[in-house]
Amino acid sequence: MIRLYDTATRALQPVAGSGARVGLYVCGITPYDGGHLGHAFTYHTFDVLTRRLRGLGVPVRSVRNVTDVDDDMMRVAAERGIGWEELAETVVRDFDRDMAAIGILDVDAAPHASRHVPAMVDWISTLAGRGFAYAVGGWVYFEVARLATYGRLCGLGEAEMIRLSRERGADPDDPRKRGPLDFVLWQPSLPPEPGWASPWGVGRPGWHIECSVLAAQELGTPIDVHGGGDDLIFPHHESEIAQAAGAGISPYARVWAHVAMVGYRGEKMSKSIGNLVFVSQLLRSTHPATVRLLLAAHHHRTAWEYTERDLQVADGRRERYAEAVRRGAAVGAAEAAGWRRDFHDRIDDDLDTPGALGVADALAARLAGTAGTAGDEGGEAGSALLGELLDLLGSASAVALPVA
């Protein structure tokens, strides 16, 4: 049984489906810049989860949205002198290419926020009808004071939530608001921004309502696993829960899984700081499997800082695995079962990919130091076994054998 740390309960919880499959929703990119190592770490994490579930015979419907209606989208499109739709199309194409290059599986659905605005208008209308939203001059806000449980996911006090709101793009001092933590559900569009008709005038949705609607439409509720970077816990995921509760939906998600931040040169990797390490840059001189081994070397709930030395260590690991495969050793059936069990036990324990790599390291050392052939009676090829395990981490290409 796979267990993940659930941010809401602060405990490991089993991953279980609502029915015949597991529904997985992971917050996607705002497409105004390329895919960087922080993105890759998040999507690598949920890629491993998807691979493991499917390996167990559990169908997964994976959804990763595209936040193409956003203040930053409008700003960057204007700066570049292109339409916001063109910007989104270009960035999404490049992002998908880079994720595929490092072996991230295709998602089952990648809904664009811009294509589902009428459903967002309907949800906001429901919130207003239930007394959780109010309109002021074409703006619509969620009234946080109406929901006593607001803040339970993040576990923060009001002062800290206000500070983070200001830091993460909200405006606690907005004079239209009844309370500093009230958040935008709808806002007027200004030329040349896109706009949609609504009961409150032509405008566009706020960020949080986009994910609530897209997740519910694609997967239904409760969502089995809702994930993203841990910088989304507040205000984004906290507000998603509030919007669902305000609409009478509880629970909204069974497990909240969050991935820690990746740093570079002493700061969190972010677009605003400009200290990004893009996947496309790494792939110019780095084997794709090396990138995945770099990511797998870090537990998804532990923040870490990227260095070029990290990349060298990961490439050394890839080379050791490739050398072990070249030795062509075999292992017995019982021993192979033991390696698989140990590897899978690590993955099933909160996606402990560093622990799983430790098992792969030991197996590679065993294969490199053992004489034998893949044809040994009662055994199996060590190269195939190692490749099978590494495939779960998206790095099987590290030991790909040349075609004869």
What is the per-residue pLDDT across 82-102, written as a single tens digit (0 to 9) for each? 999 999 999 999 999 999 999
| Residue 30 shares a structural domain with residue 81 | yes
Per-residue confidence (pLDDT) for residue 375, from 0 to 100: 45
Residue/partner pairs of 198-207 with CB below 8 Å, 24 or more apart: 198/121, 198/124, 199/121, 199/125, 200/135, 200/138, 200/139, 200/140, 201/138, 203/138, 204/69, 204/117, 205/69, 205/113, 205/117, 205/120, 205/121, 205/124, 207/67, 207/70, 207/236
Quick check: 27 pLDDT over 90?
yes
| Residue 322 shares a structural domain with residue 249 | no
Higher pLDDT, 379 or 395: 395
Helix (H) / strand (E) element for 255: namely: strand 253-259
| Residue 344 shares a structural domain with residue 262 | no
Per-residue confidence (pLDDT) for residue 378, from 0 to 100: 58
| Residue 215 shares a structural domain with residue 318 | no
Q: Give the distance between the most distant pair of CA atoms in the chain.
A: 78
| Residue 256 shares a structural domain with residue 334 | no
What is the per-residue pLDDT across 377-386, written as a single tens digit (0 to 9) for each? 557 899 999 9
Among candidate residues 213, 240, 268, the one where a domain is terminated = 268
Residue 290 in domain: no
CATH of the domain at 40: 3.40.50.620
**Residue 348 lies in domain:** 307-395
Per-residue confidence (pLDDT) for residue 34, from 0 to 100: 86
Among candidate residues 215, 246, 268, the one where a domain is terminated = 268
Residue 283 in domain: no
Per-residue confidence (pLDDT) for residue 376, from 0 to 100: 46
pLDDT band at 169 (very low <50, low <70, confident <90, very high): confident
What is the per-residue pLDDT across 266-298, written as a single tens digit (0 to 9) for each? 777 776 667 789 999 999 999 999 999 999 999
Residue 274 in domain: no
How does 334-353 read in b/e, with b if 16+ C-beta sit within 10 Å? ebbeebeebbbebbbebbbb
Q: Which of 2-6, 192-196, 224-228 has the lowest mean pLDDT?
A: 192-196
Residue 280 in domain: no
| Beta strand pairing call for 139-142 and 133-136 | antiparallel
| Residue 228 shares a structural domain with residue 146 | yes
Whether the CB-CB separation of 196 and 117 falls below 8 Å is answered with yes
| Residue 44 shares a structural domain with residue 176 | yes
pLDDT band at 160 (very low <50, low <70, confident <90, very high): very high
Backbone φ and ψ for 245, nearest 5 degrees, come out as -60, -40
Domain count, the chain: 2
Residue 282 in domain: no
pLDDT band at 404 (very low <50, low <70, confident <90, very high): very low
Q: Is the pTM of this model over 0.85?
A: yes
pLDDT band at 132 (very low <50, low <70, confident <90, very high): very high
| Residue 195 shares a structural domain with residue 47 | yes
Among candidate residues 268, 293, 324, the one where a domain is terminated = 268
| Residue 42 shares a structural domain with residue 181 | yes
| Residue 318 shares a structural domain with residue 261 | no
Residue 289 in domain: no
CA–CA separation, 327 and 225 (whole Å): 41
Residue 297 in domain: no
Quick check: 138 pLDDT over 50?
yes
Per-residue confidence (pLDDT) for residue 99, from 0 to 100: 97
Q: What is the DSSP string of 173-209?
A: T-TT-SSTT-EEEEEE--TTS--B--TT-SEEE-HHH
| Beta strand pairing call for 60-64 and 133-136 | unpaired
What is the per-residue pLDDT across 66-87, written as a single tens digit (0 to 9) for each? 999 999 999 999 999 999 999 9
| Residue 147 shares a structural domain with residue 195 | yes
CA–CA separation, 134 and 130 (whole Å): 10
Give residue for tokens 């001092």: 173
CATH of the domain at 312: 1.20.120.640
Q: Mean pLDDT of all residues in the chain?
A: 93
What is the per-residue pLDDT across 292-343, written as a single tens digit (0 to 9) for each? 999 999 999 999 999 999 999 999 999 999 999 988 789 999 999 999 999 9
Residue 40 in domain: yes
| Residue 129 shares a structural domain with residue 55 | yes
Quick check: 370 pLDDT over 90?
no
